[in-house]
Copies of this chain bind each other. A is one copy, B any other.
Amino acid sequence: MNHTREILEQLQSGVLSVDDALLRLKEEPFADLGYAKVDLHRTLRQGAAEVIYGAGKTPEQIIGIAEAMRRRSDAPVLITRLDNAAAEQVAEQLPLTYHDSARIGIVGTPPEPDGLGTVLIATGGTSDIPVAEEAALTAEVLGNRVVRLYDVGVAGLHRLLHHMDDIMGAGVIIAVAGMEGALASVIGGLADCPVIAVPTSVGYGASFGGVSALLSMLNSCASGVSVVNIDNGFGAGFLASRINHIRPKK
């Protein structure tokens, strides 16, 4: 609201006319590219990186948005759900690092980790790794130190218990699992930090494309667990970063 006061004072002091004041109150806080409204205030509000959701956008649109972002800020740009072919086109125009299995592209250099603790990312099986990597790369590009703990599903519990130290030492944990998604509950019962559960569409038959894992995680008997959408590695990584960068307020 400080900005409003400033405008009002300029109006009062005659620097602005009523029409100019009205205009500035309405003035668009984002650049309009026609096909997408780029929110240029967001970096400020959200920190270390800009994000483009690549699915359903043409390479041209992605490049256009990324360039607009980079004109205003030095922050790296994270492009999610970017397929191979599109990545190649983007890479011709921009300094893109592409992570194949996670379908993530990064323009620019990820920052040094500056979060409170580490983000531990665990998966039930090897098929969950692409989603986990989406989370991991997102968290890294947003300035977090990430520890990966893959293929530690509950069917072989000793694999998980063996890494008890990592679990107890984490600041935030992301539990990625398909099928019955029990990993989230078991980790939720062991850990004493926030746990973000990511159901994956790994499985067949009555896994219903991730619904089984999703329900399992929503009904977790362990406290301190919350859930994001099926296969939403980005969302988990983003939220983990927010938690890991939490600052005292008010």
Interface of A toward B, CB cutoff 8 Å: 1, 4-5, 8-9, 11-12, 18, 21-22, 25-26, 28-30, 35-37, 39, 42, 45-47, 51, 55-57, 61, 116-118, 124-127, 129, 150-159, 162, 164-165, 169-172, 179-182, 185-186, 188-190, 192-194, 196, 199, 201-232, 234-236, 238-239, 242-244, 246-250
Known interface pairs A21-B8, A117-B248, A185-B182; A206-B215 also in contact (CB < 8 Å): yes
Instruction: Tell me, in angstroms, the Cα distance from A18 to B56 when the chains sit together.
Output: 46
A-B contact pairs, 17 of them (CB 8 A): A1-B22, A28-B162, A29-B158, A30-B156, A155-B185, A155-B220, A180-B218, A182-B216, A203-B219, A205-B229, A215-B216, A218-B230, A224-B239, A225-B239, A226-B239, A243-B246, A244-B246
**In the complex, what residues of B have CB within 8 A of residue A152's CB?**
37
The answer to whether B242 and A193 have CB atoms under 8 Å apart is: yes
Contact for A250 among B118, B214, B227, CB less than 8 A: B118
Instruction: Tell me, in angstroms, the Cα distance from A207 to B231 when the chains sit together.
Output: 12
The residue of chain B having its C-beta at the shortest distance from the C-beta of A197 within the complex is: B226
The answer to whether A117 and B11 have CB atoms under 8 Å apart is: no
**In the complex, what residues of B have CB within 8 A of residue A201's CB?**
205
Contact for A239 among B45, B194, B250, CB less than 8 A: B194
